[in-house]
Amino acid sequence: MILAIAVIVILIVIIPFEVCRDWAFICENTGSRKGYRAWFFGLETGHWYKKSKLEEFMEAKHQNVLTYRWISYAGTGRNVYGSAISFRHGFPGPIMSITYDILNWYVSRINDEDKRALYDVFASGDRQRISKEISTIFDQYLNFPNKKNEP
């Protein structure tokens, strides 16, 4: 009986204890994404990075003006069993509404001048202009014929 009570007390203490947090970020200027797992004792593991084609272009052609604006879009705390127990994250702008694959699809089809203009719109932080640009991207994607083997 005492053992059962001890186990219940231990579970009550352990279950809500956050042992790690899975973080994910989006760069509002480039659409690139990155993330990692942060453990309660300070270690970070599982770092990942998905560089967008827009970032690749800016690195290659305009590195002197390339800046990053990383905003978290996921911050899921997990207990010892891996269950999600808390959620904390930032509030990315409109760029979060477009998938990584569709953004890359679009950037791979436009010329260098348009790529730089797209970066300038994203980097402006003007949510209305960014939303309009993303709508244009979606329209072109949805109206593109023969999207076989596309994202």
Rounded to the nearest integer, the mean pLDDT of the chain is 90
The neighbour count for residue 20, using CB atoms within 10 Å, is: 20
Instruction: Check the CA dihedral 81-84-88-90 and report its sign.
Output: positive
Q: What is the pLDDT of residue 9?
A: 60
**pLDDT of 8:** 63
Low-confidence residues in the chain, pLDDT < 70: 4, 6-15, 146-151
pLDDT of residue 84: 85
Alpha carbon distance 37, 45 (integer Å): 5
Can you tell me the distance from the alpha carbon of 69 to that of 48, in angstroms, rounded to the nearest whole number?
Answer: 17
Q: Is the dihedral angle over the CA atoms 83, 87, 88, 91 positive or is it negative?
A: positive
